[in-house]
Structures are given as structure tokens and as C-alpha cells.
Amino acid sequence: MRARRRSIASRLAKHSGYIFLFLTAAIFFLVGFNRGHREYLLVAVPEEVPPPLSLPSRKSVVDEHPIERLMEEAEDAYRAKLSGQSKTLEAAVQQYKKRYQQDPPRGFDHWWAFAKKHNVKMVDEYDGLMDDLRPFWEISGEELRRRAGQAALLPDIDLVRVQGGSSISLNLHAGKLVSDVGGRAEGFRSMMESFVNKLPDMEFPINAKAEGRVLVPWEHRVYPNLTVQDSTLGVQAMLGGPFKPDWGTDGNVWEAWRRTCQPESNARRLFSSQRDVFTGRPSNYLKSHSTTTPADDFTFASKTAAADADFCNTPYAHYLQGHFFSDWRSITALYPVFSPAKAKGFLDVRIPSHYYYGNTPRYTYGWDSVNLEMKNVDSMEVPWEKKVDKVFWRGATIGGGNHPPGFAPQYHRHRFLRMTSDGSNMTRKIVFADPSSPSTYVAAEVPITKLNDEVVDAAFVKAISQESFPGGLKGLTDAHRFSDSVSLGKHWSYKYLIDLDGVGYSGRFMSFLASDSVPLKASVYEEFYSDWIQPWVHFIPLTATYKEIYNIHAYFSGPTGSTMKSSGLTLPEEGPEAREGDKRLRRIARAGKQWKKTMGRTADMEAYVYRLCLEWARLWADDRDLMNFYV
């Protein structure tokens, strides 16, 4: 037997070099495979500040909760921005020159007087507006005017015309004047009524849809000579043929969008852009935890995903956002289209939403639809102490189009509803302050079913395009919670209001801010106010996974009964850490409400539109230098 063992050892020694190489190669293969597999499953999330913490067992001490630092940094940044706003016209002109390396547009002094009269706080923060308009400096005023007229002939685009000191909304199709003008055009026209008599003649093509419309390929933006730049032959020559309002069988939004990325990006590589992270794993459609990693439970966003979402380099993440599946065809040449919001990559020009400017029961806090008047406090508002300590949401299943079909289960609304409807035996890692030692943070694995019962009240109220979901209506109702519709005022009964995008931007955000509750928001869209508002001061931003809502609730509202049971600790009647967290939450609610009262007013929207009109008037002119303003 000993001789046999010596023989085996001898053979092993003889081939030890081959064995070592084989084992080394196998280890590298497994590591590479696992790493690639993990990257294959990750979704695009906003910038993480700070990085996810590793919380090993029950008693883990965290020197400082990430939310504390996020709030402090956000408040410091917002104070600095607000206090740094120009106090005089001369200072505003100098700030304008410093930021944009040019003189302000003619009429800037009248705009300044308007802003001062209406006590507009943010007088310098218009970087987003200038970014929207920057591409149009590359074409002449004559060309811009021609393109604006042609854009108004495209489907679902209205026209607001300023002429002779007054304005009118039009709907031009095939050269005919029709009366069917959308609410966005009428809303925009209303926003300029108080100063339209000071504006020169010009036109604004207004998007009648909620989705972005203009997607120009990267090569055509960087190298204009590659495409037609003279629109004298008409819109068909610019777009390479007749424009169809929907995609049909010859393309989709993602195919158009990925061409806005640089050629070396992953999205421009055909295999990478087409790869579906869910292929071969259909069960993922019904498992909310399958698209994220456990660390996401304790990962917090410093801001919404709008600016940081990088679909060019993580193209597989586009399956998680419904706006890439819109049925409406995008415009592939630089045409001026004014829209209420836009995602990264789109070249629409942002304007305030008519939902924010008008008064409707579905979108307006404090609107008395009986007496047709605004109230400072909504009739259904609830005192903070009596609000339900849960995250609340109601809405329809809409969250994207259906082109190409088959991807509705991964749209943002569906993912959130499946997560909050999860009745499985899965657990979430919840971190909370130990009631007996508030400086010690305890990590406990809590059943997701219990958390959803105690922390969230979310449901669909209406099934739209149920045929786009696998299994149709039955598939929808089996995988997601459904409930009855509620009025907007019902939301004020809850402390946390999650704001989910639909097929486009959400129109309820301003009403949520106006309430005495706290909005939670994840969005890939930027709107006119994006430069003016501060996440973690006026609202709580979320990552694209939504998984951190349970830990956000634990930080501000303290541990639930199930959390304490899972941790093995005893929950006192009301510990000091729970009171402190509630104070911080209410601080955000009050700040959001104050922001809406002072910076989200109709007067602020008018000031934004006024500034936009002055910039547009200069671009509209043949001699743009003559349209400058000098002190």
C-alpha cells in the first residue's frame, strides 16, 4: 500500500507543473465568469454616496449613517447656491458672462425687473436652459425659423406663435389650421401672457406628447457635414423620407437613442446593445430581487438618476426604463421641439409642465374644484402627527410603450409594485439605531412580506395595455397588487409619497412638494426646475432599484415590529432616536413645502419662460449680435 502511495505521489510530482497551470487557469476562469456574471446582472443606478456598507451580523457599529452625511452636504450646497444669487442687475450680467462667455440677450433688464417684482429667488441658475439651446447656435436664424415651421407640421406637435405683441396656439397639419390644440401648447402660451407684449415675433413648436421627441445621432451632432443641414427641401429631405408617427416594424426608441452615444461606447456595439440580461431566466420577470445585489438594500442615491444614468456604457440597463419602449417615433434631425421634460440624450428644449401651471383635481394641491379656487392648505390635508407612517403610491400600470413588445415586466412601475407586493420568504437587510444605544446601528434580516405590510401601501388602480404583459391581465394581477382608485387628497394621509414616472415624467411631483408629506423620487427625466431644487433637502432621491426604501423608512421612522423581532431586541414605547428621525423627516417635508411656495410658483415658471423667450428671440434673429444686452 505504501509503495502504491509513493507511486501516486511520484506521478503527481512529475505532472505538478501541468496541474498547477490547470488549476490556475480554472481559478481565473471561475473568477472571470463570476465577475462577468455579476456585471451581467447589475442595473444602472445613480451615483452612490457613500459606497455600500458591509454589515456582517446583528451588532454592527456604523460611525455615521450615510443619510446624515447626505443631508448635511445637501443643505450646505443648497445654502451656498441660494446665498450666491445675484442681488443687482449688474451682478446678474457679470454672472451671466462668467457662466456662458457671452452677453445676455436683449430685454434682460426687463426680465430682471420682472424677476425682482415677483421675488424670484433663483436668478442665476439657468444652466439647463442654456444647455438645451446650445445646439441651435450652430444653425442660422433663417434656418432655425424654417425648421420651426416644419416641426409644427409633424404629428403631435403644436405651435405657439408670438406676433405683434400677442400670442396664439395653433395646430398645423398638412398646411391646414385646425382647432385641436393640446394642453401643453395652451399652457405654455398662458405662461407668457404677462410679458408677451415685450417680445418680438417668433414661434415655438410644442410637443403634445409626454415623451421626448428629438434624438440626433452622435456623428450628425459632432460632424454636421455628414447630414443635410439645409431644410429648404423640406422635412422629408432632412429626415430621409416621409415621417411616420409610430415605429411600426422599422425601429424603436432604443435603436435611435443608442446612436446618440459615442461610437466606441458599449451601446454602439450591436451585441452589447441587444443583449437582454433576462434572457434564459424568465422567472426574473416575477422576482423583484433578481435584478439587483443585496448591497442595494443599504445604498442611497445622492440625486436622481437623470444626470448620472449611463445607458451608453451599460446598455443592458435600458430594459429597466419604459421610455426606451415608447411607440412614438423620434425625430432624427435637429428640429426645435419644446417638451415638459427630457431624458439624457434627447435634444428637446424643456418648458414648465402645464400640469404644474394649471389647476386640476388630479395634479394640484389645494385646488377646490367646487368653488374653483386655490387654498393654502388642501381640504384633505392631515396633521403630521396623524399621518400614516408608510410609503404610499397609487397609479396605473402605464410606464412605457410596447415597442418592441415583451419587456413591460421590467418597467419601473412594475418593478416597484412587484417588490412591494412580494409575498415570498425573501428577506431584506434592515439597518436601524439600537433603541438602547442610538449610536449603534443594528442589522437584521427581515422577511420582505412583513416589511411590505408595515412600511408600504402601493397598488395599481388600473390596467393599461395589459396585452403587453406576459399572461395579459391575469399575469398583471397575479404578480402585482391592485386596489381601488383614490383622489389626490388621499395621499396627504401618508408621510412618504413615492413619485414614479409614467411613460414620461410624473405630473404629481409639484403637488407632493406642496403637501406636508415627503416625496421620494427616482427619475431619468430632467425638468425646468432641476437647477433650482436640492435632493435630500426638498425630497428624498432613490436609486433605480428602489430597494433602499425600507432602510430609508428605518432611519427616519425607526424599526418596525418585525424588524425588532428579527433582531431579538425590545422596542421601547418611543426612543429618542425615533423622535430624532421623525424630526429630520419632517424637516424635509417642510423644506419641500417652502420650496413650492417660494420657487415652484406660477410666477417662477413665468420667469423661466420669460428668460427662455429672450434667449430664443436672439437665436431666431438673423443678426444675433444686435440682440445682445449691454449694461
Full DSSP string of 276-320: -TTTT-GGGGG-GGGGS-GGGGG--BSS-TTTT--TTTSGGGGGG
How many domains are there within the chain? 3
Picking from 622, 615, 620, 608, the residue whose alpha carbon sits closest to that of residue 106 is 615
User: All 3 cell numbers of residue 255?
Assistant: 435603436
Pairwise CA distance, residues 230 & 237, whole Å: 9
Residue 361 lies in a domain: no
Residue 6 lies in a domain: no
Q: 173 by DSSP, 3-state: which?
A: strand
Same domain for 560 and 504:
yes
Pairwise CA distance, residues 208 & 188, whole Å: 11
User: For residue 470, is the peptide bond before it cis, meaning its omega torsion is within 30 degrees of 0?
Assistant: no
Same domain for 487 and 390:
yes
Residue 395 lies in a domain: yes
Backbone angles phi, psi at 427, to 5 degrees: -125, 160
Same domain for 373 and 446:
yes
Domain boundary among 108, 126, 144: 126
Pairwise CA distance, residues 528 & 341, whole Å: 7
Residue 293 lies in a domain: no
Question: From the first residue on, what is the mean pLDDT of each consecutive set of 10 residues in the chain (631 residues)?
Answer: 43 44 40 32 29 40 80 97 98 98 98 98 98 96 97 95 96 70 94 97 96 95 82 92 90 95 91 47 37 65 83 91 93 97 96 94 92 93 97 94 91 94 92 81 93 97 91 92 96 98 93 98 94 97 94 95 89 64 96 98 98 98 97 89
Same domain for 81 and 200:
no
Q: Cβ contacts of residue 191 below 8 Å, gap of 6+?
A: 351, 352, 357, 602, 605, 606, 609
Same domain for 377 and 449:
yes
Backbone angles phi, psi at 105, to 5 degrees: -80, 160
pTM, two decimal places: 0.87
Residue 560 lies in a domain: yes
Same domain for 181 and 98:
no
Query: Which pLDDT belongs to residue 229?
Result: 83
Pairwise CA distance, residues 220 & 214, whole Å: 13
Q: Cβ contacts of residue 262 below 8 Å, gap of 6+?
A: 218, 268, 312
CB atoms inside a 10 Å sphere around CB 196: 17
Chain Cα centroid distance, residue 504? 9
Helix, strand, coil shares of the chain, percent, nearest 5, are 45, 15, 40
The domain in which residue 513 lies consists of 59-72+367-602
DSSP 8-state assignment for residue 104: P
Same domain for 196 and 99:
no
Q: 245 by DSSP, 3-state: which?
A: coil
Picking from 53, 67, 17, the residue whose alpha carbon sits closest to that of residue 556 is 67
Query: Which pLDDT belongs to residue 179?
Result: 64
Pairwise CA distance, residues 540 & 82, whole Å: 19
Pairwise CA distance, residues 433 & 558, whole Å: 7
Query: Which pLDDT belongs to residue 436?
Result: 77
Query: Which pLDDT belongs to residue 350?
Result: 98
Query: Which pLDDT belongs to residue 186?
Result: 95
Q: Decide the pairing of beta strands 349-350 and 338-339.
A: parallel
**Do 276 and 320 touch, CB atoms closer than 8 A?**
no
349-350, strands of its sheet edge to edge: 176-178, 166-173, 157-163, 202-207, 338-339, 349-350
Same domain for 615 and 478:
no
Pairwise CA distance, residues 118 & 611, whole Å: 14
Same domain for 376 and 324:
no
User: All 3 cell numbers of residue 71?
Assistant: 443631508
Residue 4 lies in a domain: no
User: For residue 315, is the peptide bond before it cis, meaning its omega torsion is within 30 degrees of 0?
Assistant: no
Query: Which pLDDT belongs to residue 177?
Result: 62
Same domain for 209 and 220:
yes
CA angle 589, 594, 600 (to 5 degrees): 110
Same domain for 431 and 335:
no
Same domain for 277 and 152:
yes
Per-residue buried b or exposed e for 74-90, using 16+ beta carbons within 10 Å of the residue's own CB:
beeebeebeeeebeebe
Backbone angles phi, psi at 428, to 5 degrees: -120, 145
Residue 32 lies in a domain: no
Domain boundary among 110, 126, 142: 126
Pairwise CA distance, residues 495 & 512, whole Å: 11
Residue 294 lies in a domain: no
